[in-house]
Chain A
Amino acid sequence: MALFRQIRANRFGTLFDRLPNLETLEKMSLHAVRIGFIFLSFAFITGVMWIPHSQGRFHFTDAKLIGLIMVWLIYGISLLLRERLGWQGQRMAVLFTLGFLFSFLSMTVLNLFSPRFHSLN
Chain B
Amino acid sequence: MATWQFPPSMNLIAVGVNHHTAPIELRERLAFTSEDIRKFLRTVCDGRLLSEALLLSTCNRTELYAVPALEEIQPAHLKDLLIEHKDARKVVQREHFFSLWACGAVKHFFEVACGADSMILGESQILGQVKDAYRLAAEEKATGTILNKLCHAAFSVAKRVRTETKLTDGAISVSYAAVELARKIFSDLSSKHILLIGAGETAELAAMHLREKNATRITITNRTPEHAEALARKIGTSNIITFDYFRERLHEFDIVISAVSSVGEIVSAHTIELAMQKRRREPMLILDLGVPRNIDPSASSLYNVFLKDIDDLKLITEKNLEARRKELPKVARIVEEELIAFEQWHNTLQVAPTIRDLQAKFEAVKQQELERVRSKVSPEQYAMMEQLADRIIKKLLHFPISTLKSPIDNAQTIQSKLNLIRHIFALESSNTDQ
Contacts and interface: CB of A to CB of B under 8 A. Distances in A.
Contact of A12 (B187, B188, B283, B319): B319
Query: Interface size bucket, B side?
Result: 20 to 34
B185 interface: yes
B282 A88 contact: yes
The 7 closest A-B pairs by CB, nearest first: A86-B280, A23-B187, A24-B187, A22-B185, A10-B312, A89-B304, A21-B184
B281 A88 contact: yes
Given A10-B315, A22-B184, A22-B185, 15 more contacts: A7-B185, A8-B300, A8-B306, A10-B312, A12-B315, A21-B183, A21-B185, A21-B187, A23-B185, A24-B187, A88-B281, A88-B304, A89-B281, A90-B303, A91-B303
Contacts of B316: 12
Contacts of B186: 21-23
Interface in B302-328: 303-304, 306, 308, 312, 315-316, 319
Interface string A1-25: 0010001101010001000111110
Interface residues of A, number: 18
B181 interface: yes
Name the residue among B183, B184, B283, B316 with the largest chain A CB count within 10 angstroms. Answer: B184
Contacts of A10: 308, 312, 315
A27 interface: yes
How would you classify the secondary structure of chain B's contact residues: helix, strand, loop or mixed? mixed
A13 to B, nearest CB: 8
A16 B171 CA distance: 13
Contact of B181 (A7, A23, A86, A91): A7
Contacts of A22: 184-186, 283
Interface string B279-307: 01111000000000000000010011010
B171 to A, nearest CB: 11
Interface in B154-211: 181, 183-188
Contacts of A91: 303
A88 B283 CA distance: 9
A89 B312 CA distance: 21
Contacts of B187: 20-21, 23-24, 27
A24 B183 CA distance: 10
14 contacts: A7-B184, A8-B300, A10-B308, A10-B315, A16-B184, A21-B184, A22-B184, A22-B186, A23-B185, A24-B187, A86-B282, A88-B304, A90-B303, A91-B303
Contacts of A21: 183-187
Given A12-B316, A21-B187, A7 B306 contact: yes
B333 to A, nearest CB: 23
B386 to A, nearest CB: 69
A87 B181 CA distance: 23
A96 to B, nearest CB: 16
A21 B285 CA distance: 13
Interface in B92-129: none
Contacts of B315: 10, 12
